[in-house]
């Protein structure tokens, strides 16, 4: 009888163990410690300089409104943020969880690479150092190192799941029920983080089947892991059952996508964005590792590609109609980094200058991103754009970084104006504005005026007919005054306030006292990509 491929590979790897360099402990591995310390200090600087993004504030509100699940995501991001809320809930405290997650993911990446792709004796660049370097040189993961979103939570779990699958796919690991139970727990926790974990589960199944063959289905531990995973995610199904399955229906609608025709240019644009935000070196490293079978064993390639490729292929398919957010692919790229690190380490032996040149370009990309965040991006508001009023409508200058400044002060001012004018609620035009206002002005209820179903309706209910509200209008997403048959009877401008950072006006807020709300007919569910961290 022929043994499954990973079992054959396990025997081969034991035979070649003499050629491997002894794996250093973390405390002896100064290069890894320096890279981890640099990443942690960079994230601490960013976390101290910028305010919460829309998604961060939204998931912080999860912690303020603890529940078994939520309209747009499972509950793990809120549960893990809750302790920091109890300690005060400052912006910096809320950033400790993503900073910790980034470091845990880096440590898991190092351990996984040492386990499945150890360095050979005499190798100038170890695969685990190369993988950690790629993690440090990828721009977008640094944003996840300060922003607590479901994908950040997944980053902690992906290396652990891969390490468990790596061991369970081998002959000596299959009989250990403890490993199977740990895998089921990790899969269940990832299901509590994000619905698309089902794709990672499919990857795990493919790798396990590759390693153990049909014997996998006769393995009691496999069924134990499956039952544990289902048990852990039971709260999500219970919550959906008591809320008319609104979250699952919402996700199905997103999976179906929009009615837009599929276009190849969108897929190419998706690929270009992935290279820009994760770097060219991971792509180059994976390509080299796959074209050099002697450099990287088939078993390690199956493991990394099995976890990484399904997610990327799904996102590429979805991008033909609507571009997904770049950070949705972060767990997939993390899964590919051991393979990419092995490829880069091999190229480094023969083409050191080529590797260092690409690394320098990626480092410049990280520096440019950090400087843009600290500077406040651009362009700044000036001239007429700095004084537009809500009734003039339109959008301001396109500066995505401006979204990270000024919301705490604007929300505090809105709260004070609401008290001064005896208004019981705040209101904004859509959820991207509502999340920061609801967080910084809590516990005042915040209503979303677009009429779409969503999490804010579950938290604060619908605005009653005839009600008054203090409406915030942000200049970079300005809308006409919400007056008319599907709005308020009248709105009065109370004041406008600029958002000034380092002597530059990035945006400005207008505060409106609106009276006599007329109920708005329920709008259809939000289009894919329009909800916080919307899932495919």
Alpha-carbon span 192 to 150, nearest angstrom: 9
Give domain status of residue 346, yes or no.
yes
From first to last of its 536 residues, the chain has per-residue pLDDT tens of 334 544 444 444 433 444 555 667 888 889 999 999 999 999 999 999 999 999 999 999 999 999 999 998 999 999 999 999 999 999 999 999 999 999 999 999 999 999 999 877 668 899 999 999 999 999 999 999 999 999 999 999 999 999 999 999 976 666 789 999 999 999 999 999 999 899 999 999 999 999 888 888 999 999 999 999 999 999 999 999 999 999 888 877 766 655 667 788 889 999 999 999 999 999 999 999 988 767 677 889 999 999 999 999 999 998 988 888 999 999 999 999 999 999 999 999 888 898 999 999 999 999 999 999 999 988 888 776 777 777 665 555 578 899 999 999 999 999 999 999 999 999 999 888 999 999 999 999 999 998 788 899 999 998 999 999 999 999 998 888 899 888 999 999 999 999 999 999 999 999 999 999 987 655 544 433 334 333 33
Give domain status of residue 409, yes or no.
yes
If we measure between CA atoms, which residue out of 386, 287, 377, 403 comes closest to residue 339? 287
Give domain status of residue 212, yes or no.
yes
Same domain, 364 and 397: no
Same domain, 194 and 307: yes
Same domain, 174 and 204: yes
Model confidence, pTM: 0.89
User: Vertex 67, ends 224 and 248: CA angle to 5°?
Assistant: 65
Tell me how far apart the terminal alpha carbons of the chain are, to the nearest angstrom. 42
Count of domains in the chain? 2
Same domain, 301 and 430: no
> How many C-beta atoms lie closer than 10 Å to residue 476's C-beta?
18
Give domain status of residue 352, yes or no.
yes
Give domain status of residue 14, yes or no.
no
Which of 352, 373, 394 is the last residue in one of the domains? 373
Same domain, 388 and 463: yes
Q: Which pLDDT belongs to residue 252?
A: 77
Give domain status of residue 13, yes or no.
no
Domain span at residue 434 reads 384-517
Q: Which pLDDT belongs to residue 298?
A: 80
If we measure between CA atoms, which residue out of 176, 144, 131 comes closest to residue 343? 131
Which of 351, 373, 395 is the last residue in one of the domains? 373
Compute CA distances 400 → 149, 369, 375, 411, whole Å.
Answer: 18, 12, 12, 19
Alpha-carbon span 21 to 144, nearest angstrom: 33
Give domain status of residue 404, yes or no.
yes
Q: Is 175 helix (H, G, I), strand (E, B) or coil?
A: coil
Write the DSSP assignment of 285-300 as a string of letters. HHHHHHH-TTTS-HHH
CA atoms within 13 A on the CB side of 456: 32
Same domain, 213 and 75: yes
Q: Which pLDDT belongs to residue 2?
A: 39
Same domain, 195 and 330: yes
């Amino acid at each position: 009888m022929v043994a499954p491929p990973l079992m054959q590979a396990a025997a081969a790897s034991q035979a070649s163990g003499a050629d491997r360099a002894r794996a250093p402990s973390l405390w002896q591995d100064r290069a890894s410690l320096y890279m981890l310390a640099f990443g942690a200090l960079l994230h601490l600087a960013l976390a101290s300089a910028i305010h919460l993004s829309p998604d961060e504030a939204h998931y912080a509100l999860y912690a303020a409104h603890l529940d078994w699940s939520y309209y747009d995501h499972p509950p793990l991001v809120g549960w893990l943020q809750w302790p920091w809320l109890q300690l005060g809930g400052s912006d910096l405290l809320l950033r400790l969880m993503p900073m910790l997650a980034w470091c845990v993911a880096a440590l898991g990446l190092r351990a996984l690479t040492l386990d499945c792709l150890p360095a050979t004796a005499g190798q100038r660049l170890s695969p685990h150092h190369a993988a950690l370097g790629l993690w440090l040189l990828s721009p977008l993961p640094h944003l996840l190192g300060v922003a607590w979103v479901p994908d950040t939570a997944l980053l902690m779990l992906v290396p652990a799941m891969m390490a468990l699958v790596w061991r369970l796919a081998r002959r000596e690991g299959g009989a250990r029920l403890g490993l199977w139970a740990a895998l089921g727990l990790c899969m269940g926790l990832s299901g509590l983080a994000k619905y698309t974990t089902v794709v990672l589960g499919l990857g795990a199944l493919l790798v396990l089947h590759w390693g153990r063959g049909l014997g996998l289905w006769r393995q009691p531990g496999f069924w134990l892991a499956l039952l544990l995973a289902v048990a852990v995610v039971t709260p999500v199904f219970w919550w959906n059952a008591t809320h008319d399955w609104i979250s699952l229906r919402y996700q199905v609608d997103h999976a179906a996508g929009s009615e837009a025709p599929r276009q190849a240019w969108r897929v190419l644009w998706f690929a270009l964005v992935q290279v820009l935000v994760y770097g060219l070196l991971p792509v180059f490293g994976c390509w080299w590792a796959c074209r050099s079978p002697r450099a990287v064993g088939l078993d390690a390639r199956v493991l990394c590609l099995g976890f990484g490729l399904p997610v990327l292929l799904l996102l590429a398919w979805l991008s033909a109609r609507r571009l997904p957010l770049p950070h949705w692919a972060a767990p997939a790229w993390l899964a590919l980094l051991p393979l990419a690190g092995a490829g880069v380490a091999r190229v480094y032996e023969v083409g050191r200058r080529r590797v260092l040149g690409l690394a320098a370009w990626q480092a410049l990309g990280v520096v440019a991103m950090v400087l843009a965040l600290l500077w406040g991006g651009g362009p700044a508001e000036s001239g007429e754009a700095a004084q537009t009023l809500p009734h003039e409508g339109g959008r301001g200058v396109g500066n995505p970084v401006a979204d990270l400044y000024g919301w705490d002060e604007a929300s505090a001012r809105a709260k004070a104006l609401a008290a001064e004018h005896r208004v019981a609620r705040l209101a904004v035009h859509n959820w991207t504005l509502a999340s920061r206002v609801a967080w910084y002005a809590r516990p005042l209820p915040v209503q979303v005026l677009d009429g779409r179903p969503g999490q804010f309706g579950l938290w604060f209910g619908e605005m009653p007919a005839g009600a008054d509200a203090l409406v915030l209008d942000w200049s970079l997403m300005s809308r006409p005054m919400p007056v008319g048959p599907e709005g308020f009877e009248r709105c009065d401008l109370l004041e406008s306030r600029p958002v000034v950072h380092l002597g530059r006006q990035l945006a400005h807020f207008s505060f409106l006292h609106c009276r006599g709300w007329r109920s708005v007919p329920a709008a259809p569910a939000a289009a894919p990509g329009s909800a916080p961290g919307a899932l495919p």
